[in-house]
Amino acid sequence: MTAATSGVMDKVRYSYRYSYSICKAMPRRTRSSSPSPSRGPSPSPGPSPSALAAFRRAGGTLRASEAIRAGIHPRTLYLLRDAGRVECISRGVYRLAGSRASGDPDLVAVSLRIPRGVICLTSALAIHGLTTHIPHSVDVALPPGGWTPVIRQPPTRMYRFSPASMSEGVEEHVVDGTRIRVFSAAKSVADSFKFRNKIGLDIALEALRAYLSRRRRDLVALARYAEVDRVDSVMRPYIDGMLA
49-96 placed in CATH 1.10.3470? no
What's the whole-number average pLDDT of the chain?
A: 80
Instruction: Check pLDDT > 60 for residue 63.
Output: yes
35: pLDDT strictly greater than 60: no
**What are the DSSP calls for the chain, one per residue?**
--HHHHHHHHHHHHHHHHHHHHHHHSPPP----SPPTT-PPPPPPPPPHHHHHHHHHTTTEEEHHHHHHTT--HHHHHHHHHTTSEEEEETTEEEETT---SS-HHHHHHHHH-TT-EE-HHHHHHHTT------SSEEEEE-SSSPPP--TTTTEEEEE--HHHHTSSEEEEEETTEEEEEE-HHHHHHHHHHTHHHH-HHHHHHHHHHHHTSTT--HHHHHHHHHHTT-HHHHHHHHHHHH-
Task: List pLDDT tens digits, range 89-111.
Answer: 777 787 777 766 556 788 888 98
- Structure confidence at residue 16 (pLDDT): 43
Please determine, for residue 7, whether its predicted confidence score (pLDDT) is greater than 80.
no
More confident residue, 156 or 21: 156
* Each residue's pLDDT tens digit, 109-152: 898 889 899 999 999 999 999 999 988 899 999 999 877 888 88
Domain range summary for the chain, segments of one domain joined by +: 49-96, 105-243
Q: What is the pLDDT of residue 124?
A: 96
